[in-house]
Amino acid sequence: MKDVARLAQVSLATVSAVLSGSAYVSPELTTRVKKAVAALGYAPNTVASSLKKGATRIIGLVVPDVTNPFFTELVHSVQKRAREQGYAVLLCDSERDIEQERSYLKMLRAHLATGTIICAAGPDASYKDLHNDVGIMPIVTVDHIIRADDYDSVVLDNVAASRMIMQHIIGLGHTRVAIIAGQQHLVPGRDRLAGFAEALRGAGLDVVPEFVRHGAFNGNDAFDCAHALLALPERPSAIFATNNQMLIGVMRAISESGLSCPRDVSVAAIDDFPWAAAFSPALTTVRQPVDAMAEAAFNLLLERINGTNTAPKHLVFAPELVIRQSCVAPPAPSGLALAAQKAAAKPTARRAKSAGKAQLSDA
Q: Mean pLDDT score of the chain, rounded to an integer?
A: 88
Give yes or no for a contact between 151 and 183, defined as CB atoms under 8 angstroms apart: no
Query: H-helix or E-strand containing 228?
Result: helix 219-230
- Tell me what pLDDT residue 55 has: 58
Instruction: With cut-offs at 50, 70 and 90, classify the pLDDT of residue 38.
Output: confident
pTM: 0.79
Give CA–CA dist 279/252, Å, rounded. 12
Edge-first strand order for the sheet with 115-118 is: 88-93, 58-63, 115-118, 139-142, 152-156, 314-317
Burial 108-119 (b: 16+ CB within 10 A, else e): bbeeebbbbbbb
pLDDT tens by residue, 39-85:
877 766 554 554 445 457 899 999 999 999 999 999 999 999 999 99
- Tell me what pLDDT residue 108 has: 93
pLDDT for 334 beyond 60 = no
How much is the average pLDDT of 114-122? 96
Beta bridge partners of 285: 269, 322
pLDDT tens by residue, 138-196:
999 999 999 999 999 999 999 999 999 999 999 999 999 999 999 999 999 999 999 99
pLDDT for 199 beyond 60 = yes
Sign of CA dihedral 300, 110, 94, 69: positive
3 versus 361: the higher-pLDDT residue is: 3
- Tell me what pLDDT residue 343 has: 52
- Tell me what pLDDT residue 346 has: 52
pLDDT for 352 beyond 70 = no
pLDDT for 104 beyond 70 = yes
- Tell me what pLDDT residue 336 has: 44
347 versus 198: the higher-pLDDT residue is: 198
pLDDT > 90 fraction of the chain, expressed in percent and rounded: 69
Which of 159, 165, 169, 158 lies closest to 198 in space, CA to CA? Answer: 159
How much is the average pLDDT of 242-251? 96
pLDDT for 332 beyond 70 = yes
Give yes or no for a contact between 69 and 244, defined as CB atoms under 8 angstroms apart: yes
- Tell me what pLDDT residue 304 has: 96
Residue 123 burial by Cβ neighbours in a 10 Å radius (0-12, 13-18, 19+): middle
Give yes or no for a contact between 335 and 304, defined as CB atoms under 8 angstroms apart: no
pLDDT tens by residue, 253-302:
999 999 999 999 999 999 998 888 888 899 999 999 999 999 999 999 99
Quote the strand ranges of 109-151, DSSP E.
115-118, 139-142
Query: H-helix or E-strand containing 246?
Result: helix 244-256
Query: H-helix or E-strand containing 223?
Result: helix 219-230
Give CA–CA dist 205/164, Å, rounded. 16
Q: Please report the domains of the chain, with CATH numbers, ordered by start residue.
A: 2-44 (1.10.260.40), 55-155+291-316 (3.40.50.2300), 158-288 (3.40.50.2300)
- Tell me what pLDDT residue 75 has: 97
- Report the SS3 class of residue 323: coil
